[in-house]
Amino acid sequence: AHWYTKGTYVTSGEMQKTIHDFYGFPQELFEVEYPAKGNPELTKETAELLAPTSVIETDSWGLDHGAWSVIKHLYPAANIPVIQMSIDYTQPAQYHFDLAKKLQKLREKGILIIGSGNVVHNLRMIDWKNINTVGAGWDWAIEARAKTNEWILDGNFQNLIHFEKQGAALQNAIPTPDHYLPLIYTLGLKEKSDNISLFNDELIGGSLSMTSVFVG
């Protein structure tokens, strides 16, 4: 999920706090609690797998909205342990792609890894008249969605890694990389034998897309 930090952090608590790291949304969202357990052993294993990258284990964070807003629909009973890893904002996308590969051993053990964010995410350019209209997108958002979908399905990950060089549509779609970089982790975890597919692939509100990628 898009926990954006200087350096790499992994949550280590026995119980995960529900973090409401947003503003301006309905009160109902601030009242959501997702009381998932943590897994200190998995936190330690994750830190060891990422060596020599320095990983800080912390119990001062928990699950932010990028994590619980997704997981609560997958596991509404909060009956599986969850840990969250931050994204080091000082590093380029290639770094995150390479770092993700070190987490492959967790997949081999049957641990589900979710990269939570948005491929097209520009809150300043939302078309409020069409905020709930599925399929509504500005021209640049339509172009960005088409290009990124093509690159994902064709395995052209280098264009996705170097997104900042792909023209104005991508620059508008990704004004800051915090929501985009989780995709790079997902792609970095793909093995040659894995299939890749898209779902929930619609634009909404002109400038948003929650296009999701399944690797497996």
| Mean pLDDT across 22-37 | 93
pLDDT at 186 over 70: yes
Average pLDDT for residues 92-102, to the nearest whole number? 98
Q: Is the pLDDT of residue 28 over 90?
A: yes
Strand 212-215 vs strand 196-199: parallel, antiparallel, or unpaired?
Answer: antiparallel
pLDDT digits (tens, 9 = 90+) for 137-160: 999 999 999 999 999 999 999 999
d(CA 161, CA 178): 13
Count CA atoms closer than 13 A to 29's CA, side-chain side. 14
Q: Which residues contact 100 (CB under 8 A, 6 or more apart)?
A: 184, 185, 186, 187, 188, 189
Percent share of the chain, pLDDT over 70: 99
pLDDT of residue 1: 53
- Asked if residue 214 has pLDDT above 70, the reply is yes
Q: State pLDDT tens for residues 43-82.
A: 999 999 999 999 999 999 999 999 999 999 999 999 999 9
Q: Contact, 85 vs 9, CB < 8 A?
A: yes
Q: Residue 49: its pLDDT value, please?
A: 97
pLDDT band at 23 (very low <50, low <70, confident <90, very high): confident
Q: Give me the pLDDT at residue 25, please.
A: 87
**181-188 and 93-101 are packed helices; what angle lies between their axes, rounded to 10 degrees?**
40
| pLDDT value at 21 more than 80 | yes
- Asked whether the beta carbons of 183 and 160 are under 8 A apart, the reply is yes
Residues 121-141 pLDDT 10s: 999 999 999 999 999 999 999
**Average pLDDT, stretch 188-205?**
96
Residue-level pLDDT at 4: 93
Band (5; pLDDT cuts 50, 70, 90): very high
